[in-house]
Amino acid sequence: MSNPFDLSGKVALVTGANTGIGQGIALALAQAGASIVAVGRSTPTDTQSAVEAAGAKFAFVSADLGTGAPVAEIVEKVAAAFGRIDILVNNAGTIRRADALEFSETDWDDVLDVNLKTPFFLAQAVAKKFIAQGSGGKIINIASMLSFQGGIRVVSYTASKSGIAGVTKLLANEWAAKGINVNAIAPGYFATNNTEALRADENRNRDILARIPAARWGSPSDLGGAAVFLASAAADYVHGITLPVDGGWLAR
């Protein structure tokens, strides 16, 4: 019996793979056999080294995901690098913190563009590629605990991640019959650049850890299993879910 989690021969496009969650997911997919194309503004040197050390092929496409302008070019370059696309991980994201009474329009637009608008149009472009290939494919969006909860002082981030959960369901409804699986992963509180301010705040850090049944911040490697599952044949009949990987946060 073949291994349903084997990604050998697959090509995965991962946005924001230079550090943190994106890096962890890219490495896990590589370890499962996938070739990796990282997309983002900065060259992911460490990610490339780790992926290649795992025996997988790697390419980098430089693009500013704060706008949808480079989407078509991204897909063309990924296809040129490896001839096809099988997996999209919409991971790149940003966050701005301020009280809702003081939140600026710029901070609203900047976050929604990166976290919601570009992921949708990249998913659209990749889905068209899947259909042209006649192969189907897997799309994994990165949601958040704030896809389920409100949070505080991150109004545009909460809006974007709530939107990602909704768009994931809608795309699953439209594309499941085309052989395209669209799902999301909702990381809990992970030790990444985006949570540096929370971890540096002694009171917030203490309160967050007290709420997590696992009693620790997540590590990017903790997301690897969920990503490989949703990218693999093992998830062929899984559509439209937002899978929490949260150390038990939502169960509390």
Known catalytic residues are 157
Residue 166: name the closest of 141, 189, 136 by CA.
141
CA angle 149, 166, 153 (to 5 degrees): 35
Distances (CA, A) of 12 to 76, 108, 224: 14, 30, 14
DSSP codes joined into one string, 109-150: HHHHIIIIIHHHHHHHHHHHHHHHHTS-EEEEEE--GGGTS-
Give the torsion sign (CA, 181, 159, 209, 22).
Answer: positive
* SS3 category, 162: helix
Distance CA 91, CA 212 (A): 23
Two tokens at 37? 């194309």
According to DSSP, residue 83 is labeled: S
Amino acid at 143: A
Token duo for residue 92: 């790149």
At 106, list the tokens. 């710029």
In 16-69, which ranges are E strands? 35-40, 58-62
